[in-house]
Amino acid sequence: MTITDKRIIRYFMTIPEASQLVMQTGAMAKRGELFVLNMGEPVRILDLAESLIRLSGLKPYEDIEIKEIGLRPGEKLYEELLIAGEDMIKTDSDRIFIERDKPISREAVCEKLGILKNALESVCGTADQAPVVDALKKVVPTYRDPETVNNSAAAERELASHCGANNEPTEENAG
């Protein structure tokens, strides 16, 4: 079995759970709200791989090896679900929040799209991504590229809550 990196953590939700939450937000919606769903606790991909092997009646690392193949370009160690600076308001549901940042005008959206369009046109036919990334950072101030996220103190704290020293599984967090 292959995994990209043993430190990766991801959020999972069943289709019925997701459908129910979407229907609840539809019933709550008034006008222009952005709903943020509480995805629960993240799962370490390594724990998931080990559990799947055990559920198959086999032993991880004895019957089936788990091989790390490395992060793919742009892949993050953890998902950023809430954007820094957002003002979250709790709803009657403990799984649904409403983001209450200031609404953006149509003109501002058009201006931001224009910046992105110009950046894309400037690199068309080239392999240069820098102008597009710079434009993205300009129009989305909270944007952080995957390398920044993976190297941030927040990433280390998030990973540490699921892994021990050197990002190794801890006894209490191991599958």
Residue 109 lies in a domain: no
Residue 98 lies in a domain: yes
Residue 159 pLDDT level (bands cut at 50, 70, 90): low
Give yes or no for residue 80 having a pLDDT over 50. yes
User: What's the domain range around 60?
Assistant: 2-102+154-167
Specify the range with the lowest mean pLDDT, choosing from 4-13, 14-23, 151-160.
151-160
pLDDT for residue 2? 97
Q: What is the pLDDT of residue 86?
A: 58
SS3 of the chain: helix, strand, coil, percent, to 5: 40, 10, 50
In-domain check, residue 91: yes
SS (H, E, C) 116-175: HHHHHHHHCCCCCCHHHHHHHHHHCCCCCCHHHHHHCHHHHHHHHCCCCHHHCCCCCCCC
pLDDT beyond 70 at 169: no
Tokens of 11: 């959020």
The model's pTM? 0.62
The model's confidence at residue 132, banded by pLDDT at 50, 70 and 90, is very high
What pLDDT shows up at residue 46? 96
Q: Is position 12 within any domain?
A: yes
CA 95 – CA 73 distance, rounded (Å): 32
| The residue to which tokens 């590229």 are assigned | 145
Is the separation of the CB atoms in 51 and 80 below 8 Å? no
Averaged pLDDT of the chain: 84
| Number of structural domains the chain divides into | 1
113 has pLDDT over 80: yes
In this predicted structure, what is the pLDDT of residue 118?
Answer: 96
3-state SS, residue 5: coil
Residue 172 belongs to some domain of the structure: no
**What is the Cα gyration radius of the chain?**
20
Query: Is the residue at 137 inside a domain?
Result: no
Task: Report if residue 87 sits inside a domain.
Answer: yes
pLDDT in tens, 30-61: 877 888 888 888 899 999 999 999 999 999 99
Question: Which amino acid appears at position 109 of this protein?
Answer: V
CB atoms within 10 A of CB 175: 15
* Residue 126 covered by a domain: no
